[in-house]
Amino acid sequence: MVAVTILGAGVTGLTIASQLPIDYKITIVGKHLPDDPVDFDYASLWAGACWVGVPDSSPRDQKLQIDAYSGLYKIASEHADSGLRISEVREVIEQGIHASPDAIWWQNKIPGFRFLKPEELPKRAAWGMAYSSIIVSPQIFLKWLKARLTARGVRFKRMAVHDLDELRHLGHDILIDASGASSRFLPSISEKTLVPVRLQSLVIEKEWDQGFIYRGRDGYYFNFFGRPDGTCYVGGFKDYGLEDRTIHDDQRQTILTRGSQVLSQVFPSDNLKDYKVLYDIATSYHYRPQQAGGTRVEKELLDGQKVIHAYGQEAGGFSYSFGVARAVAALVSDYAFELPVSSHL
């Protein structure tokens, strides 16, 4: 039996485990687990958690995103209790912002894609698109996936890890590094290329079954994702290069004002008192820029351990989830073919 340890119990680690052979001995190690109470260090719980394609992606990263879409779409179609829902998402873009329509590589690859007609666009918008996406209630989905993995025999172990060598005693044949931003602080990796992105947003109690993104000039940005659990994720601020997790009241008010400007039919007021706010979010994620190689999915032999790295996704783990998982599973298969694994038979 091949023994695999996965470092990281976020969406990346969980989806990787779901794609490995059922007869593997799998242990997921993490400081934070899906059943934990609120902790902003557990980034997957606080993500916008909607599949959104990333323009200017390399062909490899495009495949990772499309494979993620397929995996999320299949679960949303078959499991109503999973916390996933297929919803139309509209993106509206001002002139000079984002890629041109010709650069939207996913336009012929996912269901329901169309470019918006001029009469469908807000005043300042140059163009826009609509497509079927998958919107996630992360607290539900992560617990749902953990329960299914546990039923398969996957073990979860809470552990604060300071370097990969600390995991050697678990006796694995293959170690998967899904440590995300923590890869910067693990001495055997010391990832230097990750770029931090600070996010501020809020979650309100409201029923809506669609998604909306507005990309404007001078940092004007707004998104609104109606989740299947009766809440909406309302964003937001994306501050590149920052990790500050302070809730800024002025940014919250700016989010409300922008929503009332560009999505008034759904979000008519800019007064905080008109909404039932469940919580504010100020968190961060770290991605690996395309010029640094994009998402890191590769093998490396480190001090005798057969390691597979899986981190650095732009737009967060959900848009890459099952794509990275499938790519990692293929590398695991390569490693398993090379073993011997006699000590585990």
Neighbour count for residue 64 (Cβ, 10 Å): 26
Please report whether residue 43 resides in a domain.
yes
pLDDT at 43: 84
The 8-class DSSP code of residue 216 comes to -
Please report whether residue 343 resides in a domain.
no
Nearest to 103 by CA among 138, 152, 144, 54: 54
Please report whether residue 194 resides in a domain.
yes
Please report whether residue 289 resides in a domain.
yes
Cα torsion at 58, 221, 272, 200 (round to 10°)? Answer: 50
Nearest to 322 by CA among 17, 7, 4: 17
Q: CB of 257 within 8 A of CB of 291?
A: no
Handedness of CA 324, 327, 328, 329 (dihedral sign): positive
Mean pLDDT of 157-181: 94
Structural domain count, the chain: 1
pTM above threshold 0.95? no
Range of the domain at 77: 3-338
Nearest to 320 by CA among 69, 91, 137: 69
Please report whether residue 122 resides in a domain.
yes
Please report whether residue 345 resides in a domain.
no
Task: Read off the pLDDT of residues 284-324 as tens digits, 9 standing for 90 and up.
Answer: 778 888 777 788 999 999 989 999 999 988 777 899 999 99
Give me the residues paired with residue 226 across strands.
232
Q: How many Å apart are CA 193 and CA 33, to the nearest integer?
A: 26
Please report whether residue 344 resides in a domain.
no
Angle, vertex CA 313, rays to CA 12 and CA 143, nearest 5: 25
CATH number of the domain that residue 36 is part of = 3.40.50.720
Handedness of CA 185, 191, 197, 199 (dihedral sign): negative
**345 has pLDDT over 70:** no
Task: Read off the pLDDT of residues 11-26 as tens digits, 9 standing for 90 and up.
Answer: 999 999 999 999 999 9
Please report whether residue 158 resides in a domain.
yes
**2 has pLDDT over 60:** yes
